[in-house]
Amino acid sequence: MSHADHAAHATSALRGVRVADFSRVLAGPFATMMLADLGADVIKIESPAGDDTRGWIPPADSAGRGTYFASVNRNKRSIALDLASDEGRQRAWQLASTADVVVENFRPGTMQKFGLDHGRLLAANPRVVMCSITGFGSGAGADLPGYDLLVQAMGGLMSITGDPDGEPTKAGVALVDVITGLNAVIGIQAALRHADATGRGQHVEVNLLSSLLAALTNQASAAISTGRSPARLGNRHPSITPYETFHAADASLAVAVGNDRQFASFAGVLGMPELADDARFATNQARVGNRDALRSLIEPALAQRPADHWVMALTEARVPAGRVNTVLEGFELAERLGLAPIVEIDDPDAGAPGRQVASALRLSATPPVYRSAPPALGAHDGAWWHDAASEPAPASEPPASAAASSAHLDLANQHPHRPESERHDDR
């Protein structure tokens, strides 16, 4: 970490917050990385085999590390513990019972079998916040497998994604896991604020299905208000038009007309100002009712010029428009706009700085800090909290009962709530 980063870390918003991270794969590690970026001391507690995503290769980064694992595990220390052993459970208890936050995404009931449930931790540390991440909650859905793909399907997202005449389609990233991770961070920080005010921690529960349904926003509101489920519209919007993609002469172009003023400007740029006075298109509601007729007039005009021509002309007219970029082109755009989307972090395993996607947060007084690259498995075995004056005392609680051993055996067949499309076992 550079001198500037050291100075920034000294004023990080979550500096001094201890996080014992038992989570793996995506939703939980994404949440704990966000906390770590904001200054929290995160110790990642892994099985001796490590987080599954360590083996999800290719692709790999310059250190030979799986890029999936690397994407959500910077700024953490890693210790490897065998929770089937008394020693492993004692060490886990030492960390969990002295943490401010404990994060886990095991099957409901597993932490209790290991003697690490919130009730037991709360008795030892009244301020502790536990965050449990599940697929379908801890009640009737506790035994349902929480794969991102299944939740996208079962929660309705796939039914409104894709071409109207094609197959229901999942998002190109494990979007539900990411949204759930964000919800976890919000819940954790609210619980920490409550603990600061009252001295009492609490149990935060987030699940993939509820996170998806809440994120469906306008589509969910329409469904529960009308009793009718929305249908797939491809790249079209159910309530606004033209708000979709079109083919320019050389590439796809996204146009996002959000009001009648923008539509009049859009029609003028296309050389078709009469469209704004046509009763079929003069208002947004009219345009939605005549979207096919409108598209049949718009697309031939757009096909006459390259996408960049239209982006420039429409932007000058204050009509939102942009090319459909690749991921790398998206990063290039962010660089041109001065958003600094990539950071470099010292990476001893690679022998050179590693490249990471920057946090999306910009805080004027307590910005995110990039202290360390994603850790090797067990690289920090024996680690203790940075702000602690001494090493831990012996565990104040005995290791969990023999039930923990059977829980560990069962754990080999449990899988965290991860995207089916990126799994390579137990399909």
Domain boundary among 268, 293, 323: 323
Residues 61 and 87 in one domain: yes
Q: Which of 323, 353, 372 is the last residue of a domain?
A: 323
The residue ranking higher by pLDDT, 399 or 124, is: 124
**104 in any annotated domain:** yes
The mean-pLDDT minimum among 119-128, 264-273, 281-290, 343-352 falls in 343-352
Which of these is catalytic: 177, 196, 250, 260?
Answer: 177
Q: Considering the domain boundaries, does residue 329 fall inside one? A: no
Give the type of residue at 9: H
**Where are the strands (E) in 81-223, listed by range?**
101-104, 129-134, 203-207
Contact call for residues 335 and 286 (beta carbons, < 8 A): no
Q: Enter the tokens of residue 153.
A: 């399907």
Supply the pTM of this predicted model: 0.89
Strands 76-80 and 41-46: parallel
Q: Catalytic site residue 177? A: yes
| One domain for residues 399 and 345 | yes
Indicate if 368 and 260 belong to the same structural domain: no
Both 42 and 183 in one domain: the answer is yes
**Is the distance from CB of 141 to CB of 135 less than 8 angstroms?**
yes
What is the C-alpha separation between 348 and 75, in angstroms, rounded? 13
Mean pLDDT (the chain) is: 91
Domain end, chosen from 278, 295, 323, is at: 323
Structural domain for 418, as ranges: 3-218+340-422
* Residues 157 and 297 occupy one common structural domain: no
* Domain shared by 369 and 273, yes or no: no
Q: pLDDT digits over 361-375, tens only?
A: 999 999 999 999 999
* pLDDT tens-digit readout, 373-400: 999 999 999 999 999 876 666 556 645 5
Residue whose pair of structure tokens reads 């994604």 in the numeric block: 161
Q: The domain that contains 406 carries what CATH number?
A: 3.40.50.10540
Q: Let me know if residue 427 belongs to a domain.
A: no
User: How many domains does one find in the chain?
Assistant: 2
Write down the number of H helices and E strands in the chain.
16, 11
Q: Is residue 227 included in any domain, yes or no?
A: no
Same domain, 277 and 176: no
CATH code of the domain covering residue 296: 3.30.1540.10
